[in-house]
Copies of this chain bind each other. A is one copy, B any other.
């Protein structure tokens, strides 16, 4: 990671949820400036101070509204439930020009969450791209990482597949993956998001059938590389 990366500000929209809070914690710990966004800035302020406390004050984490967080950030990470996906993006759209959006959404449709059911755009990330328009890069990542592991110090036994609208976008996200202490892989263009997002339903199915709570995936067969980040 370059020093420049550490001066970046990351907004985590829906950052009061478990997944968002866990990712924000990991990035704040790595030295990024963090903005926790929420519909209620009050809730966001509370979560921000909880993260600061976990890190014993040696970090910059601020809670605010989703819109303000998006406006002030270099990178905008979206960790809302799929039911709030479109609305959240439409509300902050004007603040996203020229920025990178990292979509963590798995488009689960209750009650059949173990069945892959993608939106007409093909995936949540492609839907996000349709909403945010031309000047915004969109990547998809982190859908499959169990939030329970992010707030601890333990090694996360789940690789992160990263898709995105450009090689540059994917590379930027892979830096964030590494900063969070995880192993990431360039999984190709945004059209491949259906695999990454859909894997969430497959893993939910495996959790149910095999008595686990944290099924994940690891990429195998890469000579000497998967351990390079360790």
Residues of A within 8 A of B (CB): 114-118, 146, 157-158, 161, 185-189, 191-192, 194-196, 198-199, 201-203, 205-206, 209-223, 225
Stoichiometry (number of copies): 2
Report if A161-B202 is in contact (Cβ < 8 Å); known contacts: A117-B191, A209-B186: yes
**Set of chain B residues within 8 Å of A186, measured between Cβ atoms:** 205-206, 209
Q: How far is the CB of A225 from chain B (nearest CB, A)?
A: 5
B216 touches A115 (CB 8 A): no
Interface of chain A, main secondary structure: mixed
A157 and B192 alpha carbons, distance in the complex (Å): 23
A195 touches B194 (CB 8 A): yes
A206 and B219 alpha carbons, distance in the complex (Å): 9
Most B CB within 10 A of own CB, among A115, A213, A217, A225? A217
Other 12 A-B pairs with CB < 8 A, given A194-B198, A195-B201, A199-B199: A115-B189, A115-B191, A187-B206, A188-B201, A195-B199, A195-B202, A196-B202, A198-B198, A206-B222, A211-B222, A214-B221, A215-B220
A221 touches B146 (CB 8 A): yes
Considering the complex, give the chain B residue whose CB is closest to the CB of A161.
B202
Report if A216-B210 is in contact (Cβ < 8 Å); known contacts: A117-B191, A202-B161, A202-B195: no
A115 touches B195 (CB 8 A): no
A223 and B216 alpha carbons, distance in the complex (Å): 12
Considering the complex, give the chain B residue whose CB is closest to the CB of A199.
B195
**Set of chain B residues within 8 Å of A157, measured between Cβ atoms:** 220-221
**Set of chain B residues within 8 Å of A158, measured between Cβ atoms:** 220-221
